[in-house]
Amino acid sequence: MLQGARRTITNFPVAYLGRSRTRSIGFLSCCLIRRLQFPRLLLLGVTCHAVVCSLWRPGLAGSASLLHLYSNKSNPEQGYCEREVRLASSLDFWTLSSENLIAVLPIDPVKENYVRKVKNCVFSIAFPTPFKSRVHLVAVSKFGIWADQLWDGRAHLIGIYMNRNGDGRAVLRSSVREFLCSEAMYYLRIPTSRAASLVVSDDAVWRDQFYNGNVVKERGAVVLRVAKSWFRIGSLEILAHYGELDLLRMLLDFIIQEHFPSVDVKEPNRYLDFFSTVVSETAQLIALWMSVGFAHGVCNTDNFSLLSITIDYGPFGFMEAYNPDFVPNTSDDERRYKIGNQANIGMFNLNKLLQALNPLLDPRQKQLAAQILEGYPILYDTRFRELFKAKLGLLGKSKGDDDLIAFLLHLMEKTEADFTMTFRQLSEITQSQLQELSIPQQFWALKMISKHKLFPAWVSQYLLRLKSNMNDSDSERRKRMTTVNPRYVLKNWMVGSAVQKADRNDSSEVHLLQQVLRRPFQKHSAAETAGYSSPTPSWAKDLRVSCSS
């Protein structure tokens, strides 16, 4: 298997193909101290009751690996896997090619598993250690375009979340969270890696979840994830840090040619064009996060994709009660990555990207690149405004739109109203009900805000603004708003409940959440019964997650 260079090498439970190196961290949370850190699994697809084996053809010196998926004889049970992944049943094995990567990017000549630091290469070879106990399939994802991806001849990079202990294992709770959230984000129309499958074993994995000395035994798991690329800002930052400029230029040109079709790789200003695209798309991504109340939790440069997709789901959280200081990661003592600071962290990380690019730029290009970065706040503010105007059903432009949005957020903060359901219930309530300040009990989030003395003033401003919508009706407004304001997001209490059941080999709630989160904008009877659009249960008020979550 191929592993990113300049990381410590150890045994892995699954195949890895992709670049990741010990990173130079600017901002930090749990990752302040350099430690053993391991990459994510990279694989083409998933089949039923399968284990992964790696075969390296002798004499190919860094050529593509063949991944064979053999039937797992220790798991004779039939059922969910066969129903969900029928496309794999007729295949004897699947092949993953890495030729497009290693034909261009250098590979570490050492093909042994031991701790070391390597230079002047992008990949190293690592050999996985399979689970020893029986493996259970928990869930798979139905990709609507999976067939096209499967046969288009390109490598698909997939990974498992690794942890502080350095044993290369993921645990069930973090794997369920990662699997469900990446799928939830996809159906919320937010750029993201995808989750292909989730399996769990009975292998013992020891974890100190909150780093407080309470080490407990947990079950090992594997999440297979898919993305166009796993290269991130840190992938370039580490090369610049060590002065490997030829390799930095080689990797940049490869990334541009493979993933940035709008940029001409032969153009002298290609790095400027590349940087401009990343700046714009990063602003777009973070604005989208904010529009659904999503806090990533660990926004360091190694977790920011160069393709501006959401990757590396760890201590994430969907904000429940509106709070700009919301921090999903209990390891973030300095509140560096609180939800209200994500746009600023985006700017910080883009500045780190610019520092990595600077050695390849001439003085004029450096000046232009700095100007591009200075435009980031405007790009972000513009997109944020567009998204929140859509969430309120506003058409056209008005000078008071920013104030109207800020006014509502202020009321939500003061009343601790639920972020998701406030906007959703504004999408469902009629203008006449609002005008009469008659909030039915079913609109519980709005009813909470209505207790604030300034709520009538906001309602008056809002209804007046809606009158300026040209050729609009109340029914059209509500219909339009329900397409951008989800009724269901993956709140921590929901995934916590699913994890508890999955640990007892009951995957029913994982499957229910999969089904619900595929259509987050549509009302779902089973979701309503489960309370997914209801106030957060009292037992879940103090749920916590950390970097190992």
Print pLDDT tens along the chain (549 aa): 555 554 332 222 222 233 333 322 222 222 222 222 322 223 322 222 222 222 222 222 222 222 222 233 334 344 444 544 454 443 344 556 677 777 788 888 888 777 777 788 887 777 767 778 878 788 887 674 433 333 333 333 443 334 454 555 778 888 899 999 999 999 999 999 999 888 888 877 766 665 666 777 778 888 888 899 999 999 999 999 999 999 999 999 999 999 999 999 999 999 999 999 999 999 999 999 999 999 999 999 999 999 999 999 989 999 999 999 999 888 888 889 999 999 999 999 999 999 999 999 999 999 999 999 999 999 999 999 999 999 999 999 999 999 999 999 999 999 999 999 999 999 999 999 999 998 999 999 999 999 999 999 999 999 999 999 999 999 999 999 999 999 999 999 999 999 989 888 899 999 999 999 999 999 999 999 999 999 998 877 767 776 655
pLDDT, position 166: 52
pLDDT, position 60: 26
Q: Are 527 and 533 in contact (CB under 8 A)?
A: yes
Q: Give strand pairing partners of 321.
A: 418
Q: Under DSSP, is residue 128 helix (H, G, I), strand (E, B) or coil?
A: strand
Residue 307's region, left for phi above 0, alpha for psi from -120 to 50, else beta, is alpha
Rounded-to-5 percentages of helix, strand, coil across the chain:
40, 15, 45
Alpha helices per DSSP H over 154-232:
172-187
* CA gap 369, 357 in Å, rounded: 9
> Which single residue is written with the structure tokens 């469900």?
180
Side chain identity, residue 136: H
Could you tell me whether strands 123-125 and 135-140 are parallel, antiparallel, or unpaired per DSSP bridges? unpaired
Q: Which of 25, 29, 27 is nearest to 335 (CA)?
A: 29
* CA gap 353, 383 in Å, rounded: 22
Q: Which of 257, 27, 279 is nearest to 154 (CA)?
A: 257
Q: Which of 271, 269, 507, 281 is nearest to 383 (CA)?
A: 281
Q: Are 39 and 49 in contact (CB under 8 A)?
A: no
Question: 545: which residues sit within 8 A by CB, 6+ positions away?
Answer: 177, 297, 315, 316, 317, 328, 329, 330, 492
Neighbours of 289 (CB within 10 A): 23
pLDDT, position 37: 30
Alpha helices per DSSP H over 307-375:
342-357, 363-374
pLDDT, position 162: 40
E-only strand ranges, 107-256: 123-125, 135-140, 170-171, 194-207, 216-226
* CA gap 47, 150 in Å, rounded: 13
Dihedral sign computed on CA atoms, order 311, 312, 317, 322: negative
Quote the pTM value. 0.78
Catalytic positions are 302
pLDDT, position 146: 35
